[in-house]
Amino acid sequence: MATGGASRRGIGPALPLLAPAYLWLTVAIFLPLSAMAFFSFMTELPMSGKDWSFTLENYAAFFSGALYPTLLWASLRLGLEVTFWCLLIGFPAAYVLAKVLKGRVREAIFLLVILPFWSNGLVRIFSWAMVLREGGILDTALNAVLPFKVNIDLMYSYPAVIIGLVHSYVPYVVLTCYLTLQAIDDSLIEAARSLGASRLQTLRRLILPLAMPGLIAGGVLIFVPVVGSFMEPRILGGRTGTFYGTVIEDQFVAVFNWPLGAALSFILLAVVLVILAVAAPVLRRAQ
């Protein structure tokens, strides 16, 4: 009883502060998501004017052939690869920002990292199209410098999709890792070094474990949206750009089969949640 009273006292004054955010979340996320969950069990959209009934067929469609599982697997692989490259590129940058650079230089470099967030995502992808194609900026620049002729034509290929996605998501890793790295006391690193640990040992035994929460947060933050991405694969991937996300988009935009699109989305959500749940103990231990 006493604890209940205490928690009620705790939440009472907090309500006016919490209400706007939770009201917004309810209206903007929970309601549309419930509507989508509802649609995913229907044969037709109610607004189509046709008769509709409840069905599990949309979910059965996923398992009816190799098509959707293959696509989902391709998307999960894409998510893992992009996350890997983002961590590999983002972590060193975050380390330098947090531990090496100081003052104005750090501010300037930090600004460069978050600068891409200020421009529209679609614009960024289209600029990649200009860079990656044959006769594009990368091709021309390399051939101007190199003594021999190389032919760079990465556009409309799997690597192009990876490049575009890594570019879009690497700032997340830099930001999350920067926060955890900055919290590491410099004297800890000094102590390790003075006790004879090599640079590599310090990194492996001290810095990486302490920075793990940031790495994990960054990884999860990237993995989830990349698995469902459709814009980058469609624009940069060309004929190899068919992924789970683009097929969901097709259901909504091209054929207006919202129920199937919604069902496919919820299967993706379920798979991602299962992966996170399975990984949770490992991740917790790592933290």
Long-range contacts of 36-40 (CB under 8 A, 24+ apart): 36/262, 36/265, 36/266, 37/262, 37/266, 39/258, 39/259, 39/262, 40/259, 40/262, 40/263, 40/265, 40/266
Mark 93-132 with x for binding to another protein (rule: CB under 8 A) and - for no binding: ----------------------------------------
Q: Which stretch binds another protein (CB under 8 A): 177-185, 203-211, 222-230, 246-254?
A: 246-254
Among 39, 58, 71, 230, binds another protein (CB under 8 A): 71
CB of 240 to another protein, least distance (A): 5
Instruction: Quote the tokens at residue 230.
Output: 């459709």
Element (H, E) at 111: helix 103-114
Alpha-carbon distance 262 to 56, whole Å? 12
Classify 54 as helix, strand or coil: strand
Does 285 help bind another protein (rule: CB under 8 A)?
no
Does 47 help bind another protein (rule: CB under 8 A)?
yes
Among 12, 49, 103, 281, binds another protein (CB under 8 A): 49
Among 48, 119, 198, 287, binds another protein (CB under 8 A): 48
Number of residues that bind another protein (CB under 8 A): 27
Number of H helices, E strands in the chain: 14, 0
Looking at the DSSP bridge assignments, the partners of residue 42 are: 54
Among 70, 119, 182, 198, binds another protein (CB under 8 A): 70
Instruction: Quote the tokens at residue 133.
Output: 């194609």
Does 59 help bind another protein (rule: CB under 8 A)?
no
Q: At residue 133, what are phi and psi to the nearest 5 degrees?
A: -75, 165
Alpha-carbon distance 195 to 191, whole Å? 6
Distances (CA, A) of 259 to 46, 60, 66, 255: 10, 12, 20, 11
Q: Which stretch binds another protein (CB under 8 A): 138-146, 204-212, 232-240, 273-281?
A: 232-240
Does 60 help bind another protein (rule: CB under 8 A)?
no
Residues 250-269 that bind another protein (CB under 8 A): 250, 253-257
Q: What is the DSSP letter of 26?
A: I
Among 36, 84, 158, 193, binds another protein (CB under 8 A): 158
Does 151 help bind another protein (rule: CB under 8 A)?
no
Among 90, 164, 241, 245, binds another protein (CB under 8 A): 241
Distances (CA, A) of 36 to 42, 53, 88, 94, 241: 10, 15, 36, 39, 26
Nearer Cβ to another protein (84/156) = 156
Does 74 help bind another protein (rule: CB under 8 A)?
yes
**Contacts with another protein, residue ranges (CB under 8 A):** 47-50, 65, 67, 70-71, 74, 133-135, 155-156, 158, 238-242, 247, 250, 253-257
